[in-house]
Amino acid sequence: MKIIVVGNGKIGKSIVSQLGEEGHEVVVIDNDEGRVSELGDIHDVMALHGNGALRQVQLEAGVGDADMLIAVTGGDELNLLCCLVAKKLGAKCTIARVRNPDYLDQFSLIREDLGLSMVINPEFNAAQDIFSVLRFPGVLNVEKFAKGRVEIAEFRLPADSPIESSSLIEISRKYKIKYLICAVRRQKQTIIPDGSFVLKADDRISFVAAPAESERFLRAAGIPARAPKKTIIVGAGIITHYLTRMLGTVGVHPTVIDNNLERCQRFGEAFPNCLVLHGDGSNRELLAEERLDHADAFVAATGTDEVNILLAMYATSQNVPKVVTKLSHNMTVDLVSEEKLGSIVSPNEVTSDQVISYVRAMANSGASNVESLYTLVDNTVEALEFVVRERDERLLDIPLKTMKLKKELLISCIIRQGRVLLPNGDDCIRLGDRLIVVTTTTKLGDLRSILA
């Protein structure tokens, strides 16, 4: 596919890198000459210096025969204008980054008029991820598939868990819950387990289930299931705005700390039920006054990764049950033990994954290729979503127990006509099925590549 990306900031770079790796023809437009020059040296893409909203610049980029234009500059209005111009000039599909909550609320009114295929909002996506992991304080990460019908959740098994020292088949017999453990990380080794595999304390477990079944399994595993009542958030930015909205729907009103007085005043007006404090969130005396050691959850959501890391490490040292760290650059995690940061959420990665999933769906609309992809367990496992659109005698109507699959690969879920099926050896793949495949083998490009 030919894809034009307007804006080469943090999110733009992440999107361009992934698109290039997947073999798309990419053209990048940015008004910063230095960034354009740097991009041409790093990636095999065409880079143009100029204003991406201008007709002549888009024509030079070849917008007339572009399959997609993605506008991810720092300005919402500029992104919308870029997409409007691109649509008028012949781009088949347009995606705009829109961060302003007020614009997002009226998106349904302007989407059709602007010809937008999709709106992405890094802060909203990050807030959704944080809200998902706050739902269960013991959960490290949650990824959703099949339009939310299925999720893969990740947690660390506590020593006093009822399922510790049990095999997977024993757990299945004891608990009548529809779930499937699809990956286990143990002492830097990632395992795709079978029924005889025995769980141990401190295992990092990934499992697949429908949302309601996820809650039941987590409770059975002894993972805290109580939504956090006392929640402290440092940083009153856009992510916190969205997250506070979401927490309000479950009756949680967090304490928010920020060092910018004007931001605190605006936030207090928007959320009168929240306690908003103007102060330094890294001040130990302030955190002690707010009883950090009695908090159910702590979210480090300032605009600086290094500050968020230090805040998260301190909250962990105070035995806060659930800690969430917002990071713009995940490479910063290499400097510190990830366990001390709790759940890590990156708006850039969440958004680029969303865009890449949409691009895959567009590119693969006529074949059984990857529709969405997420990495799990410290990026050692890939979870891929396929839709079976073609007949293939090697894949269809064959019991899974007789199918010769690659090693360290598991068909963990089949979604058939809206129903979630956790398959056993007697189940078969059918035309129209949506599959979730978990594997340690990277870069599976087609459903056929699951075969040995």
Tokens 């702590």 sit on residue: 298
Residue 118: per-residue pLDDT: 83
Residue 445: per-residue pLDDT: 66
Residue 366 pLDDT > 60: no
16-20, 394-398, 411-415: the lowest-pLDDT one: 16-20
Give the tens place of pLDDT for each residue, 233-270: 999 999 999 999 999 988 999 999 999 999 999 999 99
Tokens of 337: 């033990």
Contact between 212 and 154 (Cβ < 8 Å): no
Q: Which residue has the higher pLDDT, 336 or 217?
A: 217
Residue 443: per-residue pLDDT: 65
- How far apart are alpha carbons 368 and 448 in whole angstroms? 8
Tokens of 104: 């997002």
Q: Is 390 helix (H, G, I), strand (E, B) or coil?
A: coil
- Correct CATH for 2-120 of 3.40.50.1820, 3.30.460.80, 3.40.50.720, 3.40.50.2300: 3.40.50.720
Tokens 């068909």 sit on residue: 411
Residue 14 pLDDT > 90: no
Residue 108 pLDDT > 80: no
Tokens of 239: 């992510």
Residue 130: per-residue pLDDT: 92
Q: H helices of 70-179, where? A: 76-88, 101-105, 107-114, 122-135, 168-174
Contact between 209 and 178 (Cβ < 8 Å): yes
Query: Is the CATH code 3.40.50.300 the one for domain 231-349?
Result: no
Residue 287 pLDDT > 70: yes
Fold equal for 2-120 and 231-349: yes
Burial class (CB in 10 A: 0-12, 13-18, 19+), 377: buried
Tokens of 127: 């807030």
Q: Return the H-helix or E-strand segment holding 94.
A: strand 94-97
Residue 135: per-residue pLDDT: 78
- How far apart are alpha carbons 315 and 444 in whole angstroms? 39
Residue 328 pLDDT > 90: no
Pairing mode of beta strands 68-71, 46-49: unpaired
Q: What is the mean pLDDT of the chain?
A: 87
Burial class (CB in 10 A: 0-12, 13-18, 19+), 33: exposed
What lies within 8 Å, CB to CB, of 402 at 6+ separation is: none
Q: Which residue has the higher pLDDT, 307 or 22?
A: 307
**Residue 213, φ and ψ in degrees, nearest 5:** -70, -30
Tokens 């700390």 sit on residue: 257
Residue 354 pLDDT > 90: no
Buried b or exposed e, range 260-285, using 16+ CB within 10 angstroms? eeebbeebbeebeebebbbbebbeee
Query: Model pTM?
Result: 0.74
For 350, other C-beta atoms within 10 Å of its C-beta total 21
Tokens 């999933």 sit on residue: 357
Instruction: Name the superfamily (CATH) of residues 362-450.
Output: Regulator of K+ conductance, C-terminal domain (3.30.70.1450)
Domain boundaries, the chain: 2-120, 231-349, 362-450
Residue 332: per-residue pLDDT: 56
Residue 356: per-residue pLDDT: 81
Residue 143 pLDDT > 90: no
pLDDT band at 225 (very low <50, low <70, confident <90, very high): low
Residue 102 pLDDT > 80: no
59-63, 105-109, 262-266, 419-423: the lowest-pLDDT one: 105-109
Amino acid at the residue 191 = I
- How far apart are alpha carbons 30 and 20 in whole angstroms? 17
